[in-house]
């Protein structure tokens, strides 16, 4: 493991938990921001739509709402505050491991009004617990207000899940947001790929106070040199794969992916449909609005199998998780790993498309201020990026505070995604943050970029 000083030492000093007032204010801010977003996502449709299941892939929105409150009660009121259970009968109903999503509509769910009252009651009590919690010391659950940051991240993750449910629901648009910024003027002159030199770098974190267990600990990785795309793969580029018969040629596909293409007669990314009367020949449905597929946006709603097939067709491959993180965090000038591609400071709207400020990815080439030291853009925000890697623990991993967050998912069944989408909040998005999902998933806000090995000398 490398010395802690190489991994964002300045940031570690600024966030070392010595100012309990600042910690509490930050915890309050992120909890309130998450709840404001939750209220917007559940308050924009009538109550019957909250209780309906819009896809067997997703829970009813009202389940997510009450689950958010139940997790907050479990961790902040009971584990941190030592309170007795408010509604112990809810624990089983809102246990994500006990009931698959397809079964949740049949459970005795709280009504929308009951769920709103429950989460409001829990939140009021949780803020009281925060006022008294020994965030400047105490055990690992409260040190640096970890449990409160964990719950804010949990709520924002479910907010992204609810945003995906909105994409799957039928009917008119219920959400609005301004358009993202355009691509930067220099986009057409950017190199297609950049070379990342081989050698060691620090992967993961041991200092980020709200990092989750699967991001820890910081450790040294040594990589061979590789090339990685400067920009995410666009709809235009992916469309060339579609038009070249990519979904009809088994040469490019993993056998399980090809079987899925045949079984479900897939021909394009989810939500695309052909229409010869529009430029490019394709329409898509986006949050209740049907529009021509924008050629310059990163491709969205593709599975790992689709991403890997495109990469094979293009004579390339998906980057490994370690390659993605080195491209995103490693600074050749200083030899250390940054918190984010642009440095150690928290994201702003000039750095990345995060937090549901917009309801779509920005065009490829946007956010030049968010570029990595090597000039790679949009590594954070816009779309989650599939990597080639299975979801596995880092050397020295320790489950905390519960096995079910990460450990039970480790193995070859899940693939790692990195970077965050336009639907993820900054509190749940870092250069070290790891997402994972089944390689068949298409409804998630996922795209990709490709990589390659250097040519042999």
Q: What is the CATH number of the domain that holds 35?
A: 1.20.120.450
Count Cβ neighbours within 10 Å for each residue of 38-67 and write b for 16 or more, e otherwise. Answer: beebbeebeeebbbebbeeebbbbbbbbbb
Asked if 372 and 190 touch (Cβ cutoff 8 Å), the reply is no
Q: Which DSSP category does 79 fall into?
A: I
Note the pLDDT of residue 334.
96
Say yes or no: 59 and 11 in one domain: yes
Q: Cα(374)–Cα(152) distance, rounded to whole angstroms? A: 32
Into how many domains does the chain fold? Answer: 2
Q: Cα(338)–Cα(358) distance, rounded to whole angstroms? A: 26
The answer as to whether 173 is a domain residue is no
Say yes or no: 125 and 192 in one domain: no
In 170-246, where does DSSP find H-type helix?
235-243
The answer as to whether 412 is a domain residue is yes
Mean pLDDT over 377-400 rounds to 98
The answer as to whether 317 is a domain residue is yes
Count Cβ neighbours within 10 Å for each residue of 205-215 and write b for 16 or more, e otherwise. Answer: bbbbbbbbbbb
Q: Report the length, in residues, of the chain.
A: 457
Cα–Cα nearest to 438, from 9, 101, 74, 42: 101
Cα angle value 187/191/196 (rounded, 5°): 125
pLDDT digits (tens, 9 = 90+) for 102-126: 999 999 999 999 999 999 999 999 9
Phi and psi torsions of 195, nearest 5°:
-90, 130
Q: Cα(113)–Cα(122) distance, rounded to whole angstroms? A: 14
Mean pLDDT over 193-200 rounds to 98
Say yes or no: 28 and 156 in one domain: yes
Cα–Cα nearest to 267, from 293, 298, 244: 244
Say yes or no: 270 and 379 in one domain: yes
Q: What is the domain range of residue 94? A: 4-168
Asked if 214 and 229 touch (Cβ cutoff 8 Å), the reply is no
The answer as to whether 315 is a domain residue is yes
The answer as to whether 175 is a domain residue is no
Q: Cα(155)–Cα(425) distance, rounded to whole angstroms? A: 10
Say yes or no: 227 and 99 in one domain: no
Q: Are strands 451-452 and 193-196 parallel, antiparallel or unpaired?
A: unpaired
Bridge partners, residue 283, by sequence = 273, 292
And the tokens for 265? Answer: 């007669």
Q: Is the dihedral of CA 8, 9, 10, 12 positive or negative?
A: positive
Q: How many CA atoms lie within 13 A of 340 on its CB side?
A: 23
Q: How far apart are the first and last CA of the chain?
A: 32
Q: What is the CATH number of the domain that holds 350?
A: 3.90.1580.10
Note the pLDDT of residue 137.
81
Q: Is 278 helix (H, G, I), strand (E, B) or coil?
A: coil
Q: Cα(199)–Cα(197) distance, rounded to whole angstroms? A: 7
Bridge partners, residue 447, by sequence = 385
Specify the higher pLDDT residue, 300 or 8: 300
Split at pLDDT 50, 70, 90, the class of 405 is: very high
Say yes or no: 104 and 219 in one domain: no
Say yes or no: 225 and 91 in one domain: no
Cα–Cα nearest to 105, from 69, 146, 60: 60
Q: Answer whether residue 3 shows pLDDT above 90.
A: no
Q: Cα(37)–Cα(137) distance, rounded to whole angstroms? A: 30
Q: Answer whether residue 7 shows pLDDT above 60.
A: no
Boundary residue ending a domain (112, 135, 168): 168
Asked if 336 and 6 touch (Cβ cutoff 8 Å), the reply is yes
Average per-residue pLDDT for the chain: 95
Say yes or no: 382 and 420 in one domain: yes
Asked if 318 and 311 touch (Cβ cutoff 8 Å), the reply is yes
Say yes or no: 98 and 164 in one domain: yes
Q: Which DSSP category does 140 fall into?
A: T
Say yes or no: 370 and 265 in one domain: yes
To which H or E segment does residue 168 belong?
A: helix 146-168
And the tokens for 191? Answer: 């190199």
Say yes or no: 355 and 383 in one domain: yes
To which H or E segment does residue 435 belong?
A: strand 435-437
Q: Answer whether residue 180 shows pLDDT above 50.
A: yes
Split at pLDDT 50, 70, 90, the class of 368 is: very high
The answer as to whether 178 is a domain residue is no
Cα–Cα nearest to 382, from 296, 275, 255: 296
Bridge partners, residue 219, by sequence = 203
Say yes or no: 236 and 263 in one domain: yes
Q: Are strands 435-437 and 226-229 parallel, antiparallel or unpaired?
A: unpaired
Q: Cα(75)–Cα(70) distance, rounded to whole angstroms? A: 9
Bridge partners, residue 298, by sequence = 234
Q: Answer whether residue 12 shows pLDDT above 80.
A: no
- Kindly give, in sequence order, each residue whose CB lies less than 8 Å from that of residue 423, ignoring residues fewer than 6 positions away: 159, 160, 163, 164, 356, 445
pLDDT digits (tens, 9 = 90+) for 50-107: 999 999 999 999 999 999 999 999 999 999 999 999 999 999 999 999 999 999 999 9
Boundary residue ending a domain (136, 168, 200): 168
Boundary residue ending a domain (168, 197, 226): 168
Note the pLDDT of residue 11.
43
To which H or E segment does residue 258 belong?
A: helix 255-264
Q: Answer whether residue 412 shows pLDDT above 50.
A: yes
């Amino acid at each position: 493991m490398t010395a802690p000083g190489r991994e964002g030492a300045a940031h570690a000093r600024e966030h070392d938990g010595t100012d309990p007032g600042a910690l509490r204010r930050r915890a309050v801010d992120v909890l309130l921001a998450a709840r404001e977003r939750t209220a917007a996502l559940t308050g924009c449709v009538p109550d019957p739509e909250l209780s309906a299941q819009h896809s067997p892939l997703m829970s009813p929105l009202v389940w997510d709402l009450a689950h958010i409150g139940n997790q907050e009660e479990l961790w902040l009121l009971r584990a941190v505050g030592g309170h007795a259970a408010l509604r112990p009968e809810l624990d089983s109903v809102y246990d994500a491991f006990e009931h698959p999503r397809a079964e949740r509509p049949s459970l005795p769910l709280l009504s929308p009004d009951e769920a709103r009252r429950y989460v409001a009651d829990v939140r009021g009590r949780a803020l009281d617990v925060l006022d008294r919690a020994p965030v400047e010391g105490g055990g690992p659950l409260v040190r640096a207000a970890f449990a409160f940051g964990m719950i804010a991240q949990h709520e924002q993750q479910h907010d992204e899940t609810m945003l995906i449910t909105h994409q799957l629901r039928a009917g008119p648009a219920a959400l609005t947001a301004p358009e993202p910024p355009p691509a930067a003027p220099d986009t057409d002159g950017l190199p297609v790929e950049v070379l990342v030199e081989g050698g060691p770098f620090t992967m993961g974190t041991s200092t980020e106070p709200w990092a989750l267990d699967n991001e820890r600990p910081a450790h040294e990785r040594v990589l061979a040199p590789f090339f990685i795309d400067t920009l995410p793969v666009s709809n235009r580029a992916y469309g060339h794969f579609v038009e070249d018969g990519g979904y009809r040629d088994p040469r490019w596909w993993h056998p399980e992916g090809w079987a899925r293409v045949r079984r479900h007669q897939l021909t394009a990314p989810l939500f695309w449909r052909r229409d010869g009367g529009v430029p490019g020949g394709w329409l898509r449905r986006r949050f209740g609005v049907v529009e021509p597929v924008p050629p310059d946006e990163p491709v969205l709603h593709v599975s790992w199998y689709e991403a890997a097939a495109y990469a094979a067709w293009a004579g390339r491959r998906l980057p490994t998780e370690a390659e993605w993180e080195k491209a995103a965090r490693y600074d050749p000038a200083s030899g250390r790993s940054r918190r984010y591609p642009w440095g150690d400071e928290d994201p702003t709207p000039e750095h990345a498309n995060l937090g549901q400020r917009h309801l779509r990815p920005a065009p490829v080439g946007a956010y030049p201020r968010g570029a990595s030291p090597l000039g790679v853009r949009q590594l954070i925000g816009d779309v989650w990026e599939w990597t080639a890697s299975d979801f596995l623990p880092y050397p020295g991993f320790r489950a905390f505070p519960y096995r079910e967050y990460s450990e039970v998912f480790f193995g070859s069944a899940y693939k790692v995604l990195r970077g965050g989408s336009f639907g993820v909040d900054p509190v749940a998005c870092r250069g070290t943050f790891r997402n994972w999902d089944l390689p068949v998933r298409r409804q998630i806000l996922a795209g990709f970029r490709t990589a390659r090995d250097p040519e042999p000398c």
